[in-house]
Chain A
Amino acid sequence: MNFARWPLVLTGIALAVLVAASFLTLDLHLTTLLAPASLAAMGRYAAEFLAPDLSPAFVGRLARAALETLAMSVLGTVIAAVLAAALCLPAARFAGRPPARWRVPARLLFNVLRAIPELVWASLLLVAAGLGPMSGTLALALHTAGVFGRLFAEAFENAPQGPAQALRVQGNRESLVLLYATLPQLGPQLLSYVLYRWENNIRAAAILGVVGAGGLGQMLAFHLGLFQNGRAASVIGAMVLLVYGVDLASYAIRRTMVRQH
């Protein structure tokens, strides 16, 4: 037997064991799911969604919820960007200077913020901020700040340091160095990160409401709970449209930015 292949073979066996253990311990009843009776029941359930509620009054409520979700995603992303840029100042390591005292704690903070999913943040924040879109906005802001923190710090460290060093020689504080030397060079790149992340955040904002953080998610949970599946279908449709719209907008803005240079 070819000894070089052992790691691969062992890995394969371990994976097989993992997969088998997963299915066995979960008690999934997949076979009962595929029984004709349950398939028929699922079919009936699915059919209820094929008649979405499109009455003007309801569509109006949908539009308002969609606007709330959109606002949540925009505000959350913007707050995250500002927060991350501010916290990044101590977190980035600049050539020729000893690493700042706060670099490790700042990096740790970003990792923690990023590791906890938006939905988990939202459910934690509900205690402090109550039901409604504010919890969702803050949850998005916190999680995204972690994501941006790492991206921005790397961007700051890799930016050409000439202008920044010239301002530091004159004894300016780091925040002004950031605004006058680093951001003007990195502006388009950071904006493109932010726009790209907005696409992810609109999806997150749409579903955060399911735990009570407002917007389309809250509407969905509400109507599903009342078994009003027609209306639930409309909400899902609105979610898909909203996500598609934001994807388009983000792409369009990024393309105009590229063409400007």
Chain B
Amino acid sequence: MTGPTQAVAPAAGLSLDLRAIALSRGERGGRRNILQSVDLIVAPGEQIAIVGASGAGKTSLLQIAAGALRADSGTLRLGGESFWQLPPRGRQRVRRALFLAPQVPPLPPRQRVVTAVLAARLPSLGFWRGLSSLLFPADLGAVRAALEPFGLASRIFDRVDRLSGGERQRVGLARALVAPARIWLLDEPLAALDPVHGEQVLALLCSEARRRGVTLLVSLHQAELAQRHFSRLVGLRAGRLAFDQGPDSIGAAQWTALYDVPPHNGLAASNGAA
């Protein structure tokens, strides 16, 4: 089976090392802790699922891992380099090896699918090719090959706002297949997909990542899917690490605890009697 062509054969997946990550946000009534003393070490090419209830901090964790958000304290190392210690140029260099798919697909409504997908390839196209691709898209073959497994190759020249929510989500994920990235961070990639398509897409993403040796972090709230497709699950509960182990070793009690979260998590400290 031939897969989509890659811009740059990744040397290997990027390793991720998060230590003592803490993040809080000021709100009415005090500061809300979003993440507290989270440690996460992912080896190159490893695939993990991050599970937890909504509001547990999954999105913030992925954004911190992608260098898109700076934690209040803790360290971030990507590929062994301490990210925030690097000079701005160094950070831009490391960023070119990252790919973050936010929960809401980052597609400008009036843009054509081909350009939206190609945008993920920009780090490897350089300025002038990026400029000319606005009018004459480069690497059309790669874009088609990326959309094909998602069943959207025929929509390549359609406008994004003519697609359904599920189709837009799939286009957002297809971008990963053309990005010159060595680590994929996918935030709730199945949110807009029905269960059947969702499972197919998840399987596709995992196999593509494995084929390329790309490190994969996926946040999911569908615990069952996570258990079936990943050999390592990281549970987040109210901003803290609940567990970090293989699916078989997680007990039913731990699962219930994960989704049974008291209201106003984190505000208890400043609110006295909550």
A residues lining the B interface (CB < 8 Å): 96, 162-173, 175-176, 179-181, 184-185, 187-188
A181–B109 Cα distance when bound, in Å, is 10
What separation, in Å, do the CA atoms of A164 and B104 have in the docked complex? 13
Q: Could you say which of A170, A172, A180 contacts B99, with CB atoms under 8 Å apart?
A: A170
B102-A166 in contact (CB<8A) = yes
Judging by beta carbons under 8 Å apart, are A162 and B102 in contact?
Answer: yes
CB–CB A185/B110 < 8 A: yes
Nearest-Cβ distance from residue A160 to partner chain B, whole angstroms: 9
Residue pair B106, A166 in contact (C-beta under 8 Å): yes
Residue B66 lies at the interface, judged by CB distance under 8 Å to chain A = yes
Give the nearest-CB partner of A171 in chain B.
Answer: B95
Assess whether A184 is in contact with B123, with CB atoms less than 8 Å apart: no
A162 near B104 (CB under 8 angstroms)? yes
Q: Which of B69, B98, B119, B127 contacts A181 (CB 8 A)?
A: B119
| B106 & A165 in contact (Cβ 8 Å cutoff) | yes
Given A180-B115, A184-B110, A185-B110, CB of A167 within 8 Å of CB of B102: no
Known: A170-B96, A179-B130, A185-B108. 7 other contacts (CB 8 A): A163-B107, A163-B119, A167-B119, A168-B95, A169-B100, A173-B127, A180-B108
Q: How far is the CA of A166 from the CA of B217 in the complex (A)?
A: 16
Q: Is the CB of A170 within 8 A of B123?
A: yes
Kindly report which residue of chain A lies nearest to residue B103, judged by CB atoms: A162
Does B93 interact with chain A (Cβ within 8 Å)?
yes
**Subset of 21 A-B contacts with CB under 8 Å:** A162-B104, A163-B106, A164-B106, A165-B68, A166-B101, A167-B122, A168-B68, A169-B67, A169-B68, A170-B179, A171-B94, A171-B96, A172-B123, A175-B127, A176-B122, A179-B130, A180-B108, A180-B130, A185-B109, A187-B110, A188-B110
Complex Cα–Cα for A164 and B115 (A): 14
Contacts of A166 in B (CB 8 A): 100-102, 106
CB contacts (< 8 Å) of A176 on chain B: these are 122, 127, 130-131
CA A221 to CA B98, docked complex, whole Å: 63
Evaluate contact between A163 and B123: CB separation under 8 angstroms. no
Q: Which listed residue (A171, A175, A180, A187) contacts B92, Cβ 8 A?
A: A171
Q: Which residues of B are found within 8 Å of A165, using beta-carbon distances?
A: 68, 102, 106
Q: What residues of B have a CB within 8 angstroms of the CB of A167 in the complex?
A: 106, 119, 122
Nearest-neighbour CB distance to chain B for A85, whole angstroms, equals 14
Residues of B within 8 A of A188 (CB): 110
Does B134 interact with chain A (Cβ within 8 Å)? yes
* 0 or 1 for each of B125-151: is its CB under 8 Å from A? (1 = yes): 001001100100000000000000000
